Copies of this chain bind each other. A is one copy, B any other.
Amino acid sequence: MAVHLAARGGVDLGGTKIQAIVADGAHKVLGQARQPTPTEGGPPAVIAALERALREAAGQAGIEPSELLGVGIGAPGAVDTEAGTLAQAGNLPDWRDPYPLASELGGRLGTAIRLGNDVQVATDAEFTLGAAREFSSLLGVFWGTGVGGGIVLDGRPWAGLGAAGEIGHIVVKRDGAQCPCGRRGCMEAYAGRRAMEGRARKAVEEGHKTHLFKIMEEKGRDRLTSGIWARALQRGDDLAGKLIDEAIEAIGVAVASANNLLDVQAIIIGGGLGVRFGEPFARRIEDAMMPHLFVDHRPPVVRVAELGDLGGALGASLLVTR
């Protein structure tokens, strides 16, 4: 019963999937469930899917949702923690205006909901429970569809006015490649999976050869997932190799710039591509960072995120007792 009293929920609300967990007071996962993120139906459809995922995870843990100490949600877009609203979530269906996510979902589940930024809670998870446990200052770099960043300074998350950590939009090349954000030369324009797919398609149009899209068809996917990139590299695909080289170079430059500004103890590499490529690629990012690091005799530690797929949901569950 003591465990039940301390149990809390956590959800990583992504553009592709909803990952929910229920954990005990020692952050042990008691139940987990996954739902595809609805692609239509607006906030009500997303909230229904969140409810399903949380009820399933709680069921696995043998707990009623209303028994939970609370539920934290790591969400993309503009989070207003105080108001409990989410706005401008471009990867969620029709979710532009602020919508009262916390009160709507809380009413259905009978427990308190606390919202946080998805990347920041994933960073916090690595800081509190994962690869950065022994550090007090760190930069989390989440290399996936885009490249997000989270900051912990002196043991506390730094969110700025609400939008800090956009390491993907550090400029690495003035007048450089077009970024999905509409600007030019951002790191994400070279390293984000969405941008990399665009570069690959353009190269194919220009006559370059690659296995990337054949592997995509074989796997029955409609976009270049982390697994497809990994498979293409295994097959020695030249174009995939070149685009990944450019991505790593861009990440290295941006991380070095960020560290020249922040001088943190550790850089944690997470995200779909970051975790999939793992340790050897963390070393390549470190190598790409070194030539641009101003204080290069004591570089920050570069590590791969430890918590894997559940990191975001675990980090969100930490919001409950914050």
Interface-lining segment among A43-51, A158-166, A217-225? A158-166
- Contact indicator A159/B261 (Cβ below 8 Å): no
The reply on A137 being an interface residue by CB < 8 A is yes
> With the chains together, A172 CA to B171 CA distance in Å?
6
Give 1 or 0 for each of A136-179: 1 = CB within 8 Å of chain B CB: 01000000000001010110001111111111011111101000
User: Could you tell me the distance between the alpha carbons of A151 and B291 in the complex, rounded to whole angstroms?
Assistant: 24
Q: Who on chain B is nearest to A256 by CB? A: B171
Partner of A166, one of B166, B261, B298: B261
Q: Decide if A260 is an interface residue (CB 8 Å cutoff).
A: yes
| Copies of this chain in its oligomeric complex | 2
A262 within 8 A of B: yes
Q: How far is the CA of A184 from the CA of B173 in the complex (A)?
A: 12
Q: Are the C-beta atoms of B262 and A294 separated by less than 8 Å?
A: no
| Inter-subunit contact A149/B183 (CB<8 Å) | no
B249-A174 in contact (CB<8A): yes
Docked-complex contact A294 and B173, CB < 8 angstroms: no
Contacts A183-B291, A256-B171 hold; do A261 and B263 have CB atoms under 8 A apart?
Answer: no
A159 / chain B contacts, CB cutoff of 8 Å: 263
Instruction: Check A181 for interface membership: any CB of B closer than 8 A.
Output: yes
Q: How far in angstroms is the closest Cβ of chain B from A265?
A: 7
A-B interface, 3 closest residue pairs, ranked by CB to CB distance from nearest: A160-B263, A164-B263, A166-B260
A-B contact pairs, 30 of them (CB 8 A): A153-B153, A154-B158, A158-B262, A159-B263, A160-B262, A160-B264, A161-B263, A161-B298, A163-B263, A163-B295, A164-B261, A164-B262, A164-B263, A166-B260, A166-B294, A166-B295, A167-B260, A169-B260, A169-B294, A170-B257, A170-B260, A171-B253, A171-B254, A171-B292, A173-B173, A174-B250, A183-B292, A183-B294, A258-B261, A261-B261
